[in-house]
Structure 1
């Protein structure tokens, strides 16, 4: 009887660990193993570089996104990489490095705005639809399916034309692009939240809240909503990469932000198409590489979190770690013949 009392306080604190181990990113890193951990770390590094570049763009960029000259004169068009312009200049005479750095800030603003709007609208509609049901639920489901059936880029183009006429300044352009992407993302959040609400509202704790006379708004906000949004971080990371691609597609097709108002990677790629056939590679390589690396980083984070949320992975990991724990317990805490049985 002394062995369980001795073993229990030794193992329990190690299993819980300090509080910072339970932080979202740290918790997922501790759960990941092998190649999955490498993918998650690589995704976090790429996403962190993108975030830091967007936040400190005015400090990192050597020139402004629309700057065409300095104290020595005009930059010149299609200049190759040099000490003055590390990544060369574009056909319009802009510094490529500065456009790439400032473009990260534009992409970051669009991602944050689009995801916040999508979560607010999609979660609210999913909560109301799943909990109340009835004709409202049927109408919202049909509308979500109809929107989801449209090609995402085509729907974004139509919304960009309706909202801003195709092109606009920085904040109007960011809002137009974000709202265009929001229309695509709302059905995804709506579906996920609605399915969780339909499942949770039949649980015993929700029924108990109804029995004691709790108001419907209180039940929906405090009990149902809190338990139906746990999978949203997985969708957010995947939608962030899709938002980058949609924004780049709008800019590439000429429905993005004007170059004098903000830097945008898709627009720069569109203007660099004619340079490729002339052997001028730097105007298209670096904006395209920025899109690829950011989308890759966000996708790696999203896929890794999605795998870690799979209960089969947690079961397999626990099964892999169980024999060493049993062996350690037998070695350090032997009993009267229990180790030989």
Structure 2
């Protein structure tokens, strides 16, 4: 699994007056990019389906511990659109509730990674000196390990659960945001408006809060959208290996694992959750590419 590298900070530094045009540019550029627009619409539908899962699922109880042995491994039909699994649970209901689990994991991981990474990166980039060296060396240690391998090792130590998956993945994802934010903050620190604020006697904390931090967030927002698909894939991988969500929790990776041995006779058990992972990750990627174009200052005059 590939992880998107941090964006190039040299092209993403934003002036304060530029922030007011974010919304217009995002709407205009993403709207002009048909693939990004389709990705955004599909993601909205997936999020809506996850939120409304208790009302949309034809068999809400099947997402939990209900079993119907007489209906096991029935193919797609008018009664069960996505068929049933080996214990008779409705696959469509579990896919809808699995969206809740997968998106919750992704949101939690990215929130933790962004908060920790941006905080450390801004501190390192603006303070400089030995503090930057210490933070960046610790960051480099985490980046030296493959993300999935380190997440798997942490999940083995902590024990399998959704909470474990969130902690294990977040522990490997924050360094990307630290490095990205540090590069941005270091560049912004030398800008004329920051120098002017220092000459006026503005405190360091106020400069960071008013100028450095807001202007460091543009590439972070793009990186979040690009990373969401990767987090969902990593969470699914951990569940597939038995280190993430556990039955009867509905989670896409776990559902794929439960259906892999049945693929030749009951393909729908693994195919539909696998398709959900593929579509969601793809839509996050194309939306992220669209946002990167929309927030690129080089497109400012277009």
How does the TM-score come out when normalised to structure 2?
0.86
Using a 3 Å threshold, how does the CA distance of structure 1 residues 311 and 120 change in structure 2: closer, same or farther?
A: closer
Query: What does residue range 312-327 of structure 1 map to in structure 2 within 5 Å?
Result: 312=298, 318=302
State the secondary structure of the residue aligned to 1:229.
helix
CA offset at residue 60 of structure 1?
Answer: 0.8
- Equivalent in 270, 276, 283 of residue 297 of structure 1: 283
Greater relative CO, 1 or 2 (CA 8 Å, sep 6+): 2
CA offsets 1:257-288 (integer angstroms, 9 cap, x no match)? 1112x2011111111111123x3211111011
Q: Is the 8 A contact 1:79 1:90 kept in 2?
A: yes
- Equivalent in 58, 61, 66 of residue 62 of structure 1: 58
Q: Is the 8 A contact 2:22 2:295 kept in 1?
A: no
Number of corresponding residues: 281
RMSD over aligned CA atoms reads: 2.0
In structure 1, what is the Cα distance between the partners aligned to 2:267 and 2:180?
A: 43
State the secondary structure of the residue aligned to 1:28.
helix
Using a 3 Å threshold, how does the CA distance of structure 1 residues 47 and 33 change in structure 2: closer, same or farther?
A: closer
In structure 2, what is the Cα distance between the partners aligned to 1:92 and 1:161?
A: 28
- Equivalent in 269, 276, 279 of residue 283 of structure 1: 269
Query: What does residue range 20-59 of structure 1 map to in structure 2 within 5 Å?
Result: 24=23, 27-32=25-30, 37-59=33-55
In structure 2, the residue matched to 1:125 is 120
- Equivalent in 268, 271, 276 of residue 258 of structure 2: 271
In structure 1, the residue matched to 2:131 is 136
In structure 2, the residue matched to 1:148 is 143
Q: Is the 8 A contact 2:147 2:173 kept in 1?
A: no
How does the TM-score come out when normalised to structure 1?
0.77
In structure 1, what is the Cα distance between the partners aligned to 2:277 and 2:243?
A: 17
Q: Does 1:82 align with 2:80?
A: no
Structure 1, gaps ≥5 residues long: 1-20, 319-341
In structure 2, what is the Cα distance between the partners aligned to 1:33 and 1:107?
A: 27
CA offset at residue 195 of structure 1?
Answer: 0.7
Q: Is the 8 A contact 2:30 2:291 kept in 1?
A: no
In structure 1, the residue matched to 2:224 is 236
CA offset at residue 74 of structure 1?
Answer: 4.5
After TM superposition, the runs of 4+ consecutive aligned structure 1 residues lying more than 4 A away are 311-315
Using a 3 Å threshold, how does the CA distance of structure 1 residues 75 and 136 change in structure 2: closer, same or farther?
A: farther
Q: Is the 8 A contact 1:241 1:294 kept in 2?
A: yes
Structure 2, gaps ≥5 residues long: 1-19
Q: Is the 8 A contact 2:31 2:37 kept in 1?
A: no
CA offsets 1:40-85 (integer angstroms, 9 cap, x no match)? 111111111111011111111122212435xxx6453212122322
- Equivalent in 205, 210, 217 of residue 222 of structure 1: 210
State the secondary structure of the residue aligned to 1:225.
helix
Q: Bigger radius of gyration, 1 or 2?
A: 1
In structure 1, what is the Cα distance between the partners aligned to 2:133 and 2:104?
A: 34
In structure 2, the residue matched to 1:337 is none
CA offset at residue 123 of structure 1?
Answer: 0.7
In structure 2, the residue matched to 1:307 is 293
CA offset at residue 96 of structure 1?
Answer: 0.6
- Equivalent in 85, 101, 111 of residue 106 of structure 1: 101
Q: Is the 8 A contact 2:30 2:37 kept in 1?
A: no
Using a 3 Å threshold, how does the CA distance of structure 1 residues 32 and 57 change in structure 2: closer, same or farther?
A: closer
